[in-house]
Amino acid sequence: MNTESQFTEVYPIMYRDFEQFNRLPKCGCVKEQREEIVQGYQNIWYEYIPSNYSEEKKYPLIVQLHGGGNDGRRWVDFTIWNQIAEKNGCIVIYPNSISFERWGCTDEEIQYLYDLIMLMQKRYAIDSTRIYMQGMSNGEVMTLAFTMKHSDLLAAAGNITGPSPAEMIEEDDIAPAPLPVLQMRGEKDVFYWLPDPLPKDISDIRYAMNDINREIWERVNGKDNTPWLMIRGKDNFMQFNGTNAPIIHWEIKDMGHREPPEGAQVLWDMLYSGCRRVDGKSLWENPITAIKPDKDLFVMALGSNKVYVGGEIKKIGSSDSHQVRLIRTLAQLDSFHSVHIGEMFDTDSLYAPIEFLESVMGAKVDYINPGDEIDITMKDGQKIHMWASSLLVETAGQYKGLKKPCILICGQFFVPLVSFCEDVLNLHVSENANVVAVARHSIQLGAYTARIMRTLLDGYKYDGD
């Protein structure tokens, strides 16, 4: 028997039903309800009532809107809202759209959902200050349509993966009241229809829709030019703190057009748990998990002389020429390898003026005359010595090597940003579209988050060869 083949053969596995990845054990009893709410229709919805329900208490109401090609019953098994409702004492309803498997976002459907919420308040002990709505994809478009008419009825709204197309949003559209919202987007979620010929970056269409769907809430919530950024692994969170209500943007690295399995948990912890509407006023206070400026994270972008750190934007150095630059090393024709294989010295890299350490970490940088050597004293006392045109670094009495050489240009000492942060400072680095995020914990920078950061920093994306 040839045992080696057990380790060398590859067995491809075809798993077709990816929608089952969110399937969960049943949680209590979901009741089907049928009643004529819209004249001439037998409307159907599904209710989850927590096991501890009592008329003596008041319960938040969560309205869940299914996506296109789905219905309320199938949506019950696709989210963990029942589990969240049981733990936190909430009532959840899953209405079917009037049209077959799809919300038309018509005035009739808006009225249907409004009347259904009114009916639930008559039948159950609903806390009228804590009514929430969340939709996925086509359900998100319906959520926006509803909130443009009745944001004053809700305490918060969740929007998952389906930003409304620009043609559905009028220039003068404005919700009747500020509303805290969370907008979740997958980094790899592209528009379902793509023009011919394809744009250079197919993500631009969806990302532009993301912008519009955030901006429509800035009209009433207020605009925040510098959001709070918090990245935890694949999850990129930005909170835009409008003067009237916040807008939370949640991007998941590498995710496409899907509802994240933990979506209900995030919505409850970061949004719903801190939102109420009292006497018509939106109140935002003490969510279970608050987004705060990440003090252990900073962001830099190509062409920018600024750095985002701790929720603020600072200048990198005293001169506008202290900016992040793309430096290309030209491999010589007589190189040891004649074929370009991406060896670390032969590839493009973002370089930052060493003064960024002063802005970000409070370090002290001293140029040693005539400037082709520098001494760095970190805030904790760590000493670093570096040379221009060299891969060599001396720190704590030990020598280390970089992937790229440091460079002295026009009296400014530049370091290879990624290699320096990883190999010398031992930090986590994630680069996306000429934007670099650096932190003391694991991070995966999403492309849309990078796009927003690049705009804030006045940087640019290099598309050339």
Residue 197 has pLDDT above 60, yes or no: yes
CA distance 15 to 358: 51
**What's the CA gap between 351 and 420, in Å, rounded?**
10
Contacts of 57 (CB under 8 A, 6+ apart): 89, 125
pLDDT for the residue numbered 6: 53
How many other C-beta atoms can be found within 10 angstroms of the C-beta atom of residue 298?
22
Given a cut of 70, is residue 323 above it in pLDDT? yes
| Rounded CA Rg of the chain | 26
Least confidently predicted of 99-108, 260-269, 343-352? 343-352
Confidence tier at 333 by pLDDT (50, 70, 90)? very low
- pLDDT classification of 277: cutoffs 50, 70, 90: very high
Tens-place pLDDT, residues 176-191: 999 999 999 999 998 7
Q: For residues 387 and 394, what is the distance between their CA atoms, to the nearest angstrom?
A: 9
Q: Check: CB of residue 173 under 8 Å from CB of residue 145.
A: no
Q: What is the pLDDT of residue 215?
A: 95
Q: Is the per-residue pLDDT at 5 higher than 70?
A: no
- One-letter amino acid of 373: E
User: Beta partners for 59?
Assistant: 126
1: pLDDT strictly greater than 50: no
Tell me the average pLDDT across 313-340.
Answer: 78
- 151 close to 113: Cβ distance less than 8 angstroms: no
Mean pLDDT of the chain: 91
150 by Cβ neighbours in 10 Å (0-12 / 13-18 / 19+) ranks as buried
How would you classify the pairing of strands 235-241 and 428-432? unpaired
What are the pLDDT digits (tens) for 14-69? 555 545 566 666 666 899 999 999 999 999 999 999 999 999 999 999 999 999 99
Q: Report residue 292 as tokens.
A: 């705060």
Tokens of 224: 């925040």
Structure tokens at 132: 């929430």
- Domains (ranges, CATH) in the chain? 22-284 (3.40.50.1820), 297-456 (3.30.457.10)
With b meaning 16 or more CB within 10 Å and e meaning fewer, what string describes 73-89? ebbbebbbbbbbbbebb
Amino acid at residue number 279: D
The 3-class secondary structure across the chain, one letter per residue, is CCCCHHHHCCCCCCCCCHHHHHCCCCCCCEEEEEECCCCCCCEEEEEECCCCCCCCCCEEEEEEECCCCCCHHHHHCCCCHHHHHHHHCCEEEEECCCECCECCCCHHHHHHHHHHHHHHHHHCCEEEEEEEEEEECHHHHHHHHHHHHHHHHCCEEEEECCCCCHHHCCCCCCCCCCCCEEEEEECCCCCCCCCCCCCCCCHHHHHHHHHHHHHHHHHHHCCCCCCEEEEEECEEEEEEECCCCEEEEEEECCCCCCCCCCHHHHHHHHCHHHEEEECCEEEECCCCCCCCCCCCEEEEECCCCEEEECCEEEECCCCCCCCCEEECCCCCCCCCCCCCCCCCCCCCEEEEECCHHHHHHCCEEEEECCCCEEEEECCCCCEEEEECCEEEEEECCEEEEEEEEEEEECCEEEEEHHHHHHHHCCCEEEEECCEEEEECCCECCCHHHHHHHHHHCCCCCCCCC
Question: What is the tens place of the pLDDT at every residue in 395-442?
Answer: 988 999 999 999 999 999 999 999 999 999 999 999 999 999 999 999
Specify whether the CB–CB gap between 104 and 139 falls below 8 A.
no
